[in-house]
Amino acid sequence: PVIISGFGALQNGDELVKLAEKITAPIGTTFRGKGVINEDHELYAGSHGGIGSTSASSLVQNADLLIVIGSSFSDMTQIPEIRMIQIDIDPMMIAKNYPVEVGLWGNCSEIIPALTAFVSKNVNIEYLAEIKRLKKDWIDLLEKESDSSKKPIRPQYIIKVLNEKLSEDAVISLDIGENSWWFGRNFFMKKNQKMVMSGYLASMGAGLPGALAAQLIFPEKQVICITGDGGFSMVMGDFQTAVKYKLPVKVFLFNNKQLGMIMQEQKVEGY
Instruction: Quickly list DSSP for 203-270.
Output: -TT-HHHHHHHHHHH-TTS-EEEEEEHHHHHHHTTHHHHHHHTT---EEEEE--SS-HHHHHHHHHTT
Statement: residue 241 has pLDDT above 80: yes
pLDDT for 149-190, tens place per residue? 888 889 999 999 999 999 999 999 999 988 888 999 999 999
Range name among 171-180, 189-198, 223-232, 259-268 with the lowest pLDDT average: 259-268
* Dist. CA 237–CA 215, nearest whole Å: 17
Give the pLDDT confidence score for residue 124 in this predicted structure. 95
Return mean pLDDT, the chain: 93
On the question of a cis peptide bond just before residue 152, with omega within 30 degrees of 0, the verdict is yes
Q: Give mean pLDDT, residues 216-239.
A: 94
- Does 17 score more than 80 pLDDT? yes
Q: How far apart are CA 115 and CA 128, in angstroms?
A: 21
Q: What is the rounded distance in angstroms from the CA atom of residue 238 to the CA atom of residue 234?
A: 9
Across the range 136-159, mean pLDDT stands at 91
User: 20: pLDDT confidence band, cut at 50, 70 and 90?
Assistant: very high
